[in-house]
Amino acid sequence: MTTELRLPRLRPAPLLAAGAVMQVTAIVLYAVNVLHPSFSPVWNWMPGIVLTTVTTIACWQTSRTPGLDRVAARLWRSIAATSLLLVLGTIGDARQSAIDPARVTQQQHDLPTSICYAAAMALVLWALLRLPLDRQGTTTRFLLDALTVGITVSVFGWYFTVRAIEAGSGQRTTVPTLMLAVLGLIVALAIVKVAMTGMGGLEPGILRWFAAAAAVGALGGGLFPLLVEVPDGLSGAQIFSPATMLCVAFAADRQRRVAGLPRKPSRRRLFSLVPYAAVAATDGLLLWVSGDSGGIVLVVALAACLLTALVAARQIGALRDNGRLLSRVDQQLTQLNDYQVELTHRATHDGLTGLANRALFEQRAQEMLATGEPLCLAMVDLDDFKTINDRLGHAVGDAFLSAIAARLRECLRAEDVPARLGGDEFGILLPGLPGADALALLRRIEQAMNVPLHADGHELIARGSVGLAEAWHGATAAELLRRADLAMYSAKDNGKGRFAVYDDALERTHEADQQLGADLRRALDAGEFTLVYQPIVRLPDGAWTGLETLVRWPHPERGFVGPDEFIPIAERTGLIVPLGTWILRTALSRLAAWDAEFGAAAPDELGVNVSARQLREPGFAEEVRQALAASGVSPQRLVVEVTETAVFDGGVALDTLLEIAKLGVKVALDDFGTGHSSLGLLRTVPADTLKVDKSFVAGIGSRSEEAVIATAMIQITEGLHLKAVAEGVETAAQADTLYELGYRFAQGYHFSRPLPPAEVRSRLTDGELARSSGARN
């Protein structure tokens, strides 16, 4: 679809107004001197001199118009020079009319004036032919059409000249007139051909003014004297030359108004009418001349004209057929081009959201980095998107991603580049913004994302972990993307819906994590991990009721590595999954061995910590069932300990926990009170035990807020029929106070540190569980 070219409204510019006044003046003076000669013919040349001078100034001003391309500016300078030559030629004609009026009427110029006119014609023709044409073969066709027009005009001019001589008015010199007419029409033809083929910088409306100017000058100044008798001293050039220059002035004005505007595409023309018009005119002249001869000559002339018409009609029909064929080819090429554009778009954009894909994103990032301007790259990973897919279906997930893409487009600036990099991961390029400003923009996007998104009949909130990296001198797209990705994973490790900005400390932490992660993998393969067991006791007598399984890592080079150091890394690297499987199977196997050795004196329950990452793994509940079956341990004796954070948002983790509970496995909420504590959580999670975090136990001996919270928790557990276990008990006073508050189970160093399997066996041998063994029986 083409857009129509809208021009600024035409205003009566002073130069145009002066030119129009001069044209009217030229016509009035000419008419007065033809009807009633009353003043010197010199005055008839004055309006033309003034108007041509005005046109020279207008063309020069146009050549300096802002936004005009180099080719068009050069053309207008050439036309200004041509106009200046015409001013000098017109002055020469005015001088000649004062000296010898008859020579002026006969179109006989002195040598300087003839040089000026010839140079002007040559200069404008040379300027037009220098213009770059859009299509090949135009120059050859133009030369052929110019030769056709030249022969036609020459024939007409020769005929009228001979008739004039035979009529007794052959005193005029017609050769200069004919030469001027032919050259002028060739100039007009050049303009028309250029207008039809198109060229850089000039708009078709301008070229039409040029063609009108050339045609008026050629026909008026050249053929008018051959057809109209005028008194000595007068010439058709006195009215047609100003008219020619007025057309040029209008063309200059139009050029100033369209400078910088988009060009309207030129239309393909099937054929040129110029040669056919020339042939038709010559045929008409032939019939006119043959009419005087009559008889055989007229019949032959009629037959020749008829044959010419038939051949022309046949050729025009063939050209039209070719045109229709070309039209179909153009349509097919357009369709092919559209298909190529679509393929290119598909290759560089995400098919679901329409955003840029990773390849285009990295390409645009590299281009922006090459400019040296500030640039920030943000990585966004959606939180819990897998839950949406699993619980609501992939159709809703796809609609959710599309809605997020639309919201991003609304929030970002025009120069920003959002992209879907894969799955639930998005990237955003923020050019021209330093880190602080980019972070502020991302926070505004976060606020916009908190407004519910409509996705296939559901209203969902988009939350994501965001990592931001700022470009530096010498940055590459791949490295910038890696840094943003690293920051994003750091944000995800710190909790959902968080931001992180890349810095050197993050890099050092990542390198350490990578090294420790590699050691984790090696340690897991080498069997370096060991398990210890911390007793859970009954209050007030301290009898063992169960054990909590804890993992330890005696590193061969670094010594003891605490769980608080390697467990988060195992979570980030995904090694927590195979490590957790090993812990679960090893602990159950150990419990089965104690059962076989101690029977009823073996621990009643065994707690195993399970991470959020394990709960999100497909088939984890089945893995628990298989581990129980392999060990032969009853499901009621296994306690899966999870944190509040792991199941707070529900989703797959909660679904997995419900499946585990259906097996008969007990569930304990570990470190309760430190995460996303919620009474609603106690209703949705199939918990049997509430393990109160040690931070609430530490200050329980005083009238502190911790004591109040601990008291409230025991009341909640009693009301919900849950088992309450106080963690981190380190003194006898704490144990006594907890018992007075209503707690009947506790765990901590006051009772026992975590024990290796051998020491657990030793304690069991000593009858540590003797007072509680009857509970299972």
Q: Give 69-95 as a DSSP string.
A: -HHHHHHHHHHHHHHHHHHHHHHHHHH
Q: Give residue 436's pLDDT.
A: 87
Residues with Cβ within 8 Å of 74's Cβ and at least 6 positions away in sequence, in order, are: 63, 127, 130
Q: Give residue 770's pLDDT.
A: 45
Q: Which tokens hold the place of 415? A: 């120069």
Q: Which residue has the tokens 């894909």?
A: 357
- Bridge partners of 672, per DSSP, are 692
The rounded distance, in Å, linking the Cα atoms of 218 and 648 is 91
Query: Which DSSP string corresponds to 591-607?
Result: HHHHHHHHGGGS-SEEE
- Bridge partners of 454, per DSSP, are 459
Evaluate if residue 334 carries a pLDDT over 80: yes
Cα–Cα separations (whole angstroms), residue 24 to 17, 87, 97, 682: 11, 18, 21, 99
pLDDT in tens, 671-718: 776 655 556 677 778 889 998 888 888 777 666 676 777 788 888 888
pLDDT in tens, 76-105: 898 899 889 989 988 988 888 888 777 666
Q: Which tokens hold the place of 215? A: 């045609």
DSSP helix/strand/coil, 620: helix
Q: Which residue has the tokens 């996705």?
A: 455
- Bridge partners of 382, per DSSP, are 464
**Pairing status of strand 745-746 against strand 689-692:** unpaired
Question: Is there a contact between 25 and 51 (Cβ–Cβ < 8 Å)?
Answer: no
Residue 219 per-residue DSSP state: I
Query: In this structure, what are the phi and psi dihedrals at residue 210, rounded to the nearest 5 degrees?
Result: -60, -45
More confident position, 266 or 362: 362
Question: Is there a contact between 103 and 96 (Cβ–Cβ < 8 Å)?
Answer: yes
Mean pLDDT in residue range 578-587: 95
Q: Which residue has the tokens 């390697």?
A: 566
Sign, CA torsion 288/289/290/292: positive
The rounded distance, in Å, linking the Cα atoms of 82 and 76 is 10
Evaluate if residue 610 carries a pLDDT over 90: yes
Helix axes 175-197, 204-218, angle to 10 degrees: 170
Q: Which tokens hold the place of 44? A: 């008839």
pLDDT in tens, 612-671: 889 888 889 999 999 999 999 999 999 999 987 777 666 778 889 999 999 999 999 887
pLDDT in tens, 499-550: 889 988 888 887 877 888 888 889 988 999 999 999 999 999 999 999 999 9
Q: Give residue 171's pLDDT.
A: 44
